[in-house]
Chain A
Amino acid sequence: MGGECICVMGRYILRRLLWTLVVILIVTLVTFVIFYVLPSGDPAVRFAGKEPTQQVVAQVRRDLGLNHNVAVQYLLYLKRLVVGDKYGWPGLGFSYTTGGAIAPQLWQRAQITLQLVLGAAVIWMLIGIPVGVYAALKPRSAFDRSSLLVGLVFISTPVFWLGMLLLWLFWATLGWLPGTGYVTFTTDPVAWAGHMLMPWLTLSLAFAAIYARIIRGKMLDTLGEDYIRTARAKGLPERRVVTHHALRASLVPIVTLLAVDIATLIGGTVVVEDVFNLQGLGSWVLYGAQNQDLPITLAVTLVATIAVSLLSLMADVIYAYLDPRVRPR
């Protein structure tokens, strides 16, 4: 890589970084508007949870600076996020229904959600890539057609319904797998995997279908390229042509997609965590919403969105590194 190239790359990363900062700033503004400004009624009462006492409301008003005008309130909100508050960093406040600080519990629950999402990603890649490749090698074959149809069924299946069906079949009826709940990996790796298997499957089937379709399309494009013909012409075995040349080229765009999907899923596990009773971020945000505990809902929304923007920044940089064509000017 020449000096000029590194400079272009650096400028691209810098611009992308600035845009990410702008997005994060906008996200703080949007969350502030959604939770502080939009709803009718006194925000202090809303943040104090169900049936608050006068003292709690007064304390919330003091904590959040709700006596000031809206612009100052927003700046105070930003300041708490950046420097933290008396409940820890980042300054996400205190849950008045559970009586605990938000920040420490947030990190603890994020671990469970991450395990769920990453495990699911591994499974959908393990299903999606072989199915997509095989379908592309035999386009319009019976396998290709049925994989498309089955994929469409998976894409159309509501995640919560799939989860309930799996639980009914493998837990309640057959008794092959443990039911809802969570066991940490360190206590019992086998029980951990057993408990995570159904949530992973539930989350990954629709994605497996989508990825199989995308990989099939990319493979079909790549298999028509000149260098594939060259590879075949020089007598490489077909297996090597497919794995070393066609598949490798087809996987480059998948990297970005994967990072973005993983990021989006961090905020999309709500339904699965609800069905399988996993105490991650998703079930927490739901708890917050159902019990009118706004600090929880706000914290998870904000942190997950920031994680999404950071991960998609990372994905874009990796992609630009892998594929020089996308580097703008």
Chain B
Amino acid sequence: MSVDVSILESAQPPALGTGRSPAALMWLRFRVNRAAYVSLIFLVVLTVAAIAAPLIAHLAGHGPNDLYRTSMLDSFGNPKGPTLHFWFGADASGRDVFVRVIYGARVSLIVGVVATGIAATIGVVFGLIAGFRGGGLDTLLSRTSDVVLALPVLLFAIGLSSACSNTAQGCVGGAVTPGLNLVIVIIVIFAWPAMFRIVRAATLSLRESTFVEAGRAVGMTGRSIMFREVLPNLISPVVVYAALMIPESILFEAYLSFLGLGVPGTTPSWGGMLEQASQYYTTAWWLMVFPGVFLLATILAFNLVADGVRDAFDPKATK
């Protein structure tokens, strides 16, 4: 009896995603979530604006640190509000708030992406090793993460940044200097353990699965089983959690800069601008409103995108 192959093929269920790759399917599911989709568009526009910040400053005609004391400060030295040329008004030094807000996006986005990237990588690698190999190394890494998670983050961040900002040489013999890289180092120190725990727990349960056993049977080394067999199965929790880490990092940078312990004042950052605004909020509302709205919108957008990513990875998860 001969089998007609074409019948078998046509008998396959005409699914929605026929012929689509997993990535394309996920994109379809992501787009259904309208809030996440709009948030993503906002973040893309913001990123483009941040990259093009010098161009925008050029078009506006004001650099981020250009002072317009005569035109934008009144006779008492108080800043003037939004005008046709200064869309978001001027700050207490007579600088263009609009241009500074655009430049401020750079700091937030860099911190969010770079700090999360480094912390997530450390968490994933340590988690894989600890979960897969076990033993003394696992105990050491797990206990270290326990201790870090038990520390009051903000206090230690303040302690670290004040200890390291005390002199221009910074910490660890000059390897960590005050400013943006100190902020990133601090976030990484406190952010990796959570990712580590997630990856370690998932690796522990995957270690006993048959495909790992199969890998061993065909003579794969431990390292290639970890990174080629186990890691691809962890993509979903890792990506979802990393997406949640980004808004946390951005918020944390804003706190440090607001407290005057983050990025120096010459680099425009939303937290730093709000710190200045805290002295003027009763008289100059634009100083508080514009950087604050951008900060809130960015963090909210990242949170909504993270929600959408989670739903796209796991369509069964009920909200």
A34: interface (CB < 8 Å):
yes
Q: Which of B159, B162, B247, B254 contacts A31 (CB 8 A)?
A: B159
CB distance from B49 to the nearest CB of A (A): 20
Q: Which among A156, A172, A297 is the interface contact of B162 at CB below 8 angstroms?
A: A297
Task: Give min CB distance, B2 to chain A, whole Å.
Answer: 52
Chain A min CB distance to B77 (Å): 20
Contact check: which of A149, A292, A308 meets B150 at CB < 8 Å?
A308
Q: How far is the CA of A38 from the CA of B176 in the complex (A)?
A: 10
Q: Which of B18-26, B61-69, B203-211, B258-266 contacts A (4 or more CB under 8 A)?
A: B258-266
Tell me which of B152, B261, B281 contacts A289 (CB under 8 A).
Answer: B261
B97 at the interface (CB under 8 A from A): no
CB of A10 within 8 Å of the partner chain: no
Given A38-B171, A156-B303, A161-B274, A270-B163 contact (CB < 8 Å): no
**Inter-chain contact B296/A286, CB cutoff 8 Å:** no
Give Cα A72 to B307, complex, Å. Answer: 51
Provide the main secondary structure of the chain B interface.
helix
Residue in A38, A157, A264, A289 whose Cβ sees the most chain B Cβ within 10 Å: A289
Q: Which of B280-296 contact A (CB under 8 A)?
A: 281-282, 285, 288, 292, 295-296
Interchain CB contact under 8 A, A270 and B259: yes
Interface of A is mostly: helix
Q: B255 to A160, Cβ gap below 8 A? A: yes
Interface residue ranges of A297-328 to B (CB < 8 Å): 297-298, 300-301, 304-305, 308-309, 312
Asked whether, in the complex, the Cβ of A158 is within 8 Å of the Cβ of B296, the reply is yes
A40–B161 contact, CB under 8 A? no
A155 to B174 Cα, complex, angstroms: 36
Give 5 new A-B contacts, CB below 8 A, not counting A149-B35, A308-B150.
A38-B163, A158-B271, A158-B274, A164-B281, A274-B258
In this complex, what residue of B is CB-closest to A267?
Answer: B152
Instruction: Tell me the complex Cα distance, A14–B313, Å.
Output: 42
Check if B154 sits within 8 Å of A289, measured CB to CB.
Answer: no
Q: Is there a chain A Cβ closer than 8 Å to B173's Cβ?
A: yes
Greatest chain B CB density within 10 A among A157, A160, A294, A309 is at A160
List, in ascending order, chain A residues with CB within 8 A of B154's CB. 267-268, 270-271
B281, A168: Cβ atoms under 8 Å? yes
* Residues in chain B near residue A288, CB distance under 8 A: 162
- A309: B residues at CB distance < 8 A: 150
Query: Is A152 an interface residue, CB under 8 A from the partner?
Result: yes
Q: Which residues of B contact A157 (CB under 8 A)?
A: 296, 299
Taken together as a complex, chains A and B put the C-alpha atoms of A156 and B296 apart, in Å, by 6
At the interface, yes or no: B278 with Cβ under 8 Å from chain A?
yes
Interface: B82 (CB within 8 A): no
A35 to B160, CA, bound (A): 8
Please, how many angstroms separate the alpha-carbon atoms of A239 and B285 in the complex?
Answer: 47
Are B281 and A292 in contact, CB atoms less than 8 angstroms apart? no
* In contact, A40 and B281 (Cβ under 8 angstroms): no
The residues in B between 287 and 319 inclusive whose CB is less than 8 angstroms from any CB of A are 288, 292, 295-296, 299-300, 303-304, 307, 319
A155 touches B152 (CB 8 A): no
- The A-contacting residues of B in range 62-114, CB under 8 angstroms, are none
CB neighbours (8 Å) of A263 from chain B are: 152
Distance between Cα atoms of A34 and B157 in the complex (Å): 10
Smallest CB separation, A82 vs chain B (Å): 20
CB of B274 within 8 A of CB of A164, answer: yes
**Interface readout for A12-28 with B: 1 if CB under 8 Å, 0 if not?**
00000000000100110
Task: Provide the residues of chain A in CB contact with B260, threshold 8 Å.
Answer: 290
Q: Which of A149, A152, A309 has the most CB of B within 10 A?
A: A152
Which residue of chain A is the closest to B172 with respect to CB atoms?
A: A38
Contact A305-B152, Cβ < 8 Å, known A35-B163, A158-B292, A158-B295: yes
Instruction: Tell me if A252 is interfacial: C-beta within 8 Å of chain B.
Output: no
Is B155's CB under 8 angstroms from A285's CB? yes
Q: Which of the residues A39, A153, A275 comes within 8 Å of B163, measured between beta carbons?
A: A39
By beta carbon, the residue of chain A nearest B174 is: A40
Contact A304 B163 (CB under 8 A): no
Q: Complex: how many Å from CA A54 to CA B285?
A: 47
Known: A152-B300, A158-B292, A268-B152. A34 touches B159 (CB 8 A): yes
Which residue of the partner chain, among B35, B159, B170, contacts A40 with CB atoms under 8 Å?
B170
**Closest residue to A303 on the B side, CB-wise?**
B155
Q: Give the CA-CA distance A38 to B197 in the complex, in Å.
A: 28
Chain A residue with Cβ nearest B252? A158
B224 within 8 A of A: no
Contact between chains at A156 and B299 (CB < 8 Å): yes
For the complex, is B169 an interface residue (Cβ under 8 Å from A)? yes
Residue B277 is within 8 A (CB to CB) of chain A in the complex: yes
Cβ of A168 and Cβ of B295 under 8 Å apart? no
Whether B171 pairs with A158 at a CB distance below 8 angstroms is no
> A267-B152, A297-B158, A297-B159 are contacts. A155–B303 as well, Cβ < 8 Å?
yes
Decide if A164 touches B163 in the complex (CB within 8 Å): no
Contacts of B296 in A (CB 8 A): 153, 156-158, 161
Report chain B residues within 8 Å CB of A40: 167, 169-171, 173-174
B247 touches A156 (CB 8 A): yes
A46 within 8 A of B: yes
In B120-179, the 8 Å CB interface with A consists of 146-147, 150-156, 158-164, 166-167, 169-174
